[in-house]
Amino acid sequence: MKSIPECLFHSRSLACKKPYGAAPAGKKVEFAAYPRREQGISRMTLWVEEDGQQAEAYPMRWFGLAGARDEYGASFTPPHAGLYWYWFTFDTADGPRFCARGYGGRCEVLDSMGDRFQLTVYDPSYRPPRWFGEGITYNIFPDRFCRDRDPVQPEGEGIAPRVLHENWDDLPVYRPDEHGEILNNDFFGGTLRGVLSKLDYFESLHVRTLYFNPIFQAYSNHRYDTGDYKRIDPLLGNEEDFKTLCSEAAKRGMRVVLDGVFNHTGYDSRYFNGRGRYDSLGAHQSKDSPYCPWYEFSEWPDQYGSWWGIYTLPQVNERNPDYQSFIFRDADSVVRRWLRLGASGWRLDVADELPDDFIAGLNVAAKQEKPDALVIGEVWEDASNKIAYSERRRYFGGGELDSVMNYPLRDAILAYLNGGTAEHFAETMETLRENYPRDVFYNLMNIIGTHDTARALTVLGVMSEDWKKSRDERAHYELPPDRLETAKRRLRLAAVIQFTMPGSPTIYYGDEAGRQGFEDPFNRRTYPWGAEDREILAFYRRLCEVRADSETLIRGELRFDTGENDALLRYERTLGRSRIIVLVNRSRQEVRTGVNALYALDLLTQREFDCEDSSGIEITVPAETAYLLQCFGSAE
């Protein structure tokens, strides 16, 4: 007998909707609704609207009684990939009613139109590469991770004079110059060979993907102002260094993913050549430049579109055929070339500012070069229904993005650990799980820190008033001992959640070593080799080991169990007969809870829990503690 929901319709119940969540195009989606008999319903209708089109009505048949409820059903077969919306109407003696989307996927009966339910439809023939989501990722900010030599002022075409730090532990330059600009042209000299020398370190963390922030020649230390897409920044090394790194990493089962900054170039670049450092004829120098049509000038040469109005980041017209050929269509295009040289995929910077056809074309080119190439997008919100520049995006229909950066997970983790409820965290994740195709949900880049965010340890330790400190104060700020201990406990909880969600847990370099820092550039300080927080690092190593060795955490189903206690986050990962229950207690008081098992083993500490009677195991979760319980057997 199927389990009937307690409301008229629940979008996450298989009794109401099959399949769960996103649906493949061309396959029937079945809907069932269960109004109470005393409502006296005479007719029910399912309404389906393809995004931006006219809604269509699907009369629902009465299928009989279901306890104290009637059962009505209808089906809809989405003809093609895209975003669809649905809702229900029914007639009563008191007039028509609307069944709209309420909290948690539950139906809300209203007198007028309310929020609609979302149905994401994808192309079933398109399968994102699974290797990414199944492994652990390490995010490297190239200039600040590791150097194999003292930095030397590079020379050559396009190279601007650079400020070189001899001391690896210096603060990055953060004050404006005499013209009021922060140039970001101070370098610490991290190199590709430095990364190569740390492959043993990555192996100790069971890393399977090395994701690099930009590595191409650029004026700035962050290198998001690309100067030459086809040249490794000489301070980092050269093309041979890159090939060697990819080759040696592959021998250890690791892949390399590059950052593709294709929405804008650098002002100081081969293409725009605003400072005339390149031998090429740039768009800023002549309207006859082959690169001039790439840019949009309102008044040549000094008035042009730029990313967020930053003059050093002139925007390109991604629909320009020549630009597309250069980036991904030509045999020696940027995307294809670096894949051939050893990369396994691309992360697209500001993906919501790249047109859908540009992303789709890039994806095709990448897959032609390497069938299992990965294309990840930087999207900060729910990417399934994202609207950018008044246009609905088609990221997950098939053939665009294989994954996105999971900022909603980061936000939900930090909100929960800073006093939010377990229910709110679960709702955030369940919304994504319902809206994303399963292959995408299990392929997400799960982050708690990036080069664009303050360090996780800092966010979890500072007081609200600390964010109001002056820039000089924030530059030198270190958490006091009591706050540091609190932050470390919370960081462990954050990492447990991150590593037990479907998708690739992604470590931002130095987070695992206890690095602190507010906003850019304080979140981009060098990796503290030899001065790591050994306690945090040991915890990460153990957590990485658990995640790498567990097929259940890699591929298992996810089910939340909330409502018992706002401070206790509880969920299960299951695969076949294997069952792992995750218990996270963010409060400063212990929490007691029951576990339906005869025996349980905490995978983090190897602590054992036995059933004292047939009712299961009673577990006390200490304050600010997480258990990762491998469970065996079931209580009566």
Four-point Cα dihedral 403, 406, 409, 413, nearest 10: 140
Structure tokens at 332: 């020696």
In a 13 Å sphere around the CA of 107, the CA atoms on its Cβ side amount to 25
Orientation of helix 422-435 relative to helix 407-417, angle to 10°: 170
Look-up: residue for tokens 């579109």? 305
- Which of 228, 268, 378, 572 is catalytic? The answer is 378
What is the C-alpha separation between 256 and 367, in angstroms, rounded?
16
Interior angle at CA 46, CA 42 and CA 48, nearest 5: 160
Orientation of helix 481-500 relative to helix 534-549, angle to 10°: 10
Is residue 91 annotated as part of the catalytic site, yes or no?
A: no
Q: Which helix (H) or strand (E) holds 429?
A: helix 422-435
What's the Cα-to-Cα distance from 527 to each of 153, 445, 457, rounded to whole Å?
A: 22, 21, 14
Cβ-contact 333, 311 below 8 angstroms: no
| Eight-state DSSP code of residue 306 | B
Residue 246 CB partners (closer than 8 Å, separation 6+): 256, 341, 342, 343
Residue 456 has phi, psi (to 5 degrees) of -60, -40
What is the C-alpha separation between 342 and 430, in angstroms, rounded?
36
Is residue 378 annotated as part of the catalytic site, yes or no?
A: yes
The shares of helix, strand and coil residues in the chain, as percent rounded to the nearest 5, are 25, 30, 45
What is the C-alpha separation between 42 and 46, in angstroms, rounded?
14
Length of the chain: 636
Residue 469 CB partners (closer than 8 Å, separation 6+): 477
- Which of 259, 349, 434, 624 is catalytic? The answer is 349
Q: What is the CA radius of gyration of the chain?
A: 27
Structure tokens at 426: 């679960």
Residues carrying an active site annotation = 349, 378
